[in-house]
């Protein structure tokens, strides 16, 4: 596995693959790799000749009071994990390589961001869309792999790829969970033992909502209330940030479930903000 830190070296490596007519699969990450990331790598390896993983904690997508400085980082561990997973290139630029000066142009997301994390984290998705635009231009992937766990991110980036005519496919992969249902996340390391135990209630609340949907409940407000009640009863260490039921992927409010819907939740713990969601498939 090659570890690349400069954009020009990354472009050179990509050019060599393109000359061989190789397809490129790309997995963008912020590092502290876990099985969730590796499921994306596995899928990318199945579908492409060459797999690039980026490891970049993007300052642009963190608000002033968010956890940029505390975000878990362990380069040596990530390097070994990526190498063992069969990654071809680990692209890990420094912030000054990506943003050598204040950008003249950045990407501003207009839809799908006035709800969920977009509402709680103003500017977050502009930062995500800007860095991914740069990374897509640098890596020139055929396919880019995202986790369903960050469903709003996938919805925003799918929209951007269509709007800006990027010649790549977005592949969204299922959320990988611990045995008790907690979605794997780099931030889980910051949970205390009691918080970690309590965190299982996030997925349980989503499953609780899904059961009502499967039993025939299609009233969005009713579903939202059920999930909220479950969380209010079971979350004591954390603070519920949001519970919402929206259409997916356009993330608009509806009165009645029609087509695919998403139940999405966020809970703020002392040092980690957890998000999770479940997709209700349209009947």
Q: State in angstroms the smallest separation of the CB of 143 from ligand AMP.
A: 13
Provide, for the chain, the percentages of residues in helix, strand and coil under a 3-state DSSP scheme, each rounded to the nearest 5. 45, 20, 35
157 binds ligand AMP (CB under 6 A): no
Distances in whole angstroms, Cα of residue 184 to Cα of each of 157, 193, 272: 21, 15, 13
Q: Which of 37, 124, 137, 190 is catalytic?
A: 37
CB 262 within 8 A of CB 151: yes
Taking contact as CB under 6 A, which single stretch among the options 15-23, 104-112, 177-185, 212-220 is the one that binds ligand AMP?
177-185
Beta-bridge partner residues of 183:
177
Q: Which residue number, 36 or 238, has a Cβ lying nearer to ligand AMP?
A: 36
Active site residue 22: no
Rounded to an integer, what distance in angstroms lies between the CA atom of residue 195 and that of residue 182? 11
Which residue lies nearest ligand AMP, judged by its C-beta?
A: 147
Q: Binding residue for ligand AMP (CB under 6 A) from 92, 184, 231, 275?
A: 184
- Select from 14, 17, 36, 62 the one that contacts ligand AMP (CB under 6 A): 36
Q: Is 176 in the site for ligand AMP (CB under 6 A)?
A: yes
Q: Tell me the HSE value of 164 on the side-chain side, using a 13 A CA sphere.
A: 19
The nearest distance, CB 128 to ligand AMP, in angstroms, is: 9
CB nearer to ligand AMP: pick between 13 and 29: 29
CA–CA dist 216, 180 (Å, integer): 26
- Which two three-digit tokens encode residue 261? 């819907």
> Which stretches of 151-219 are DSSP H helices?
151-163, 193-198, 200-214
Q: What is the CA radius of gyration of the chain?
A: 19
Q: Please report, for residues 48, 95, 117, 184, the alpha-carbon distance to residue 162 in angstroms, rounded to integers and kept in the order given.
A: 21, 27, 22, 29
> CB neighbours of 102 closer than 8 A, spacing ≥ 6?
none
Nearer to ligand AMP, 39 or 113 (CB): 39
- Residue 55 beta carbon to ligand AMP: minimum distance, rounded to whole angstroms: 8
**Counting contacts by CB under 6 A, is residue 186 touching ligand AMP?**
yes
CB of 219 to ligand AMP, least distance (A): 30
40 binds ligand AMP (CB under 6 A): yes
- The catalytic residues are 37
Which residues would be at the binding site for ligand AMP (CB under 6 A)?
29-30, 36-37, 39-40, 146-147, 149-150, 173, 175-176, 183-186
């Amino acid at each position: 596995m090659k570890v690349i830190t400069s954009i020009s070296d990354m472009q050179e490596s990509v050019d060599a693959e393109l000359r061989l007519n190789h397809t490129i699969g790309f997995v963008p990450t912020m590092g502290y790799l876990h099985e969730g990331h590796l499921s994306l790598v596995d899928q990318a390896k199945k579908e492409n000749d060459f797999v690039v993983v980026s490891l970049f904690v993007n300052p642009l997508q963190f608000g002033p009071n968010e956890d940029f400085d505390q975000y878990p980082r362990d380069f040596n561990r990530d390097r070994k994990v990526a190498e063992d997973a069969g990654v071809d290139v680990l692209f890990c630029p420094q912030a000054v390589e990506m943003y050598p000066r204040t950008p003249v142009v950045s990407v501003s997301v207009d839809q799908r961001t006035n709800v969920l994390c977009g509402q709680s984290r103003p500017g977050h998705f502009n930062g995500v869309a800007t860095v991914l635009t740069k990374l897509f231009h640098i890596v020139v992937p055929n396919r880019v792999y995202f986790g369903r766990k960050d469903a709003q991110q996938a919805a925003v980036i799918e929209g951007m790829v269509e709007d800006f005519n990027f010649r790549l496919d977005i592949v969204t992969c299922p959320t990988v969970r611990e045995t008790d249902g907690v979605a794997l996340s780099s931030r889980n390391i910051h949970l205390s033992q009691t918080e970690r135990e309590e965190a299982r209630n996030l997925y349980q609340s989503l499953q609780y909502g899904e059961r009502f949907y499967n039993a025939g409940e299609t009233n969005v407000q009713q579903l939202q209330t059920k999930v909220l009640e479950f969380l209010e009863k079971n979350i004591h260490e954390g603070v519920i940030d949001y519970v919402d039921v929206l259409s997916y992927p356009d993330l608009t409010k509806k009165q009645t479930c029609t087509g695919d819907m998403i139940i999405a939740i966020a809970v703020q713990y002392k040092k980690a903000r957890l998000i999770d969601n479940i997709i209700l498939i349209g009947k």
